[in-house]
Amino acid sequence: MSLIEKNVETHYARHGLELSILTALEETGVDLDHLKILDLAPIDEFHIGGRRFTLELARQLGLNETMQILDVGCGLGGAARCLAVEFGCKVTGIDLSEEYCRIASMFTQKLGLDSHVSYYQANALDMPFEDGTYDLLWTQHASMNIADKSELYAEMWRVLKPGGRLVIYDALAGDGGPIHFPVPWAREANISHLIRPQQLRIILEETGFEILSWQDTTEKGRSWFRRMAEKVTRQGLPRLGIHLLLGADFKVMAQNQVRNLEENRIALIETIVRRPL
């Protein structure tokens, strides 16, 4: 693992994270011996909009039980489990964080989803899969820590079947200037690698992908953050939430994320592209 990769993994590492999540679940009244997928919803999708945005995007895709899906940058595995439960797909998740993959596997086992979902620690630039393995690749808020976008999308092309689709929901650079740090994916600029939406489009097309849909969801993300901020102001932080993943920096990271979105320093894009036959 390179120094940059180690720095990224260190950014996401939290001592005792598994125990913190399990304790918070119990304190909110969850029976860990009878865990349900919605019990994990406040914690297991580390991206703007959480499970609701995942389902809204997934319902555009015509997913079914015959499909093999790869979730690149799966985090704690929530999106992968959601796709498996809602659509019957077989889903593999990869993440650079060994801790995230271990916790993702633990929850998947507790939910009895082992036969449909699996996780591997792996680098998205060098994935341990054969060419043309997957019907669909899924990635949400993962590319921000990867500098070489051309290599990233070339590797995604490689493991995708001809005719298969790549679904991206990512934070990109806006027109408002450099972002304010820290943010959830980086405390400092050295592990943050945002590109502009038009740059992403060019790289995808140069890789060979055909653009099927392209949606700027920045305002949708702003609205979601505003609702969350109002809820926290009224009720305080919930016992179970994404703040457990971010630690003591959570408050300033959340404030900066809102500011970056409001000042157009970050743009949110959802796109569906296809590898031609």
Ranges of each domain in the chain:
3-274
pLDDT at 149: 98
pLDDT at 219: 96
Whole-model pTM?
0.96
Architecture of domain 3-274: 3-Layer(aba) Sandwich (3.40)
pLDDT at 2: 84
pLDDT at 4: 81
Q: If you count them, how many residues does the chain have?
A: 277
How far CA 98 is from CA of 74, 105, 108, 119, 121, in Å, comes to: 11, 11, 15, 10, 5
pLDDT at 117: 98
Q: Do 71 and 80 contact (CB within 8 A), yes or no?
A: yes
User: In a structure prediction context, what are the per-residue pLDDT tens digits for the chain, which is 277 residues long?
Assistant: 788 889 999 999 999 999 999 999 999 999 999 999 999 999 999 999 999 999 999 999 999 999 999 999 999 999 999 999 999 999 999 999 999 999 999 999 999 999 999 999 999 999 999 999 999 999 999 999 999 999 999 999 999 999 999 999 999 999 999 999 999 999 999 999 999 999 999 999 999 999 999 999 999 999 998 888 888 888 888 999 999 999 889 989 999 999 999 999 999 999 999 999 9
Give 245-252 contacts, CB < 8 A, sequence gap 24+: 245/12, 245/14, 245/17, 245/43, 245/46, 245/76, 246/184, 247/14, 249/182, 249/187, 252/182
Give 186-191 contacts, CB < 8 A, sequence gap 24+: 186/11, 186/144, 186/145, 187/11, 187/249, 190/7, 191/4, 191/7, 191/8, 191/11, 191/145
pLDDT at 118: 98
pLDDT at 23: 97
Adjacent-strand bridge partners of 136: 69, 165
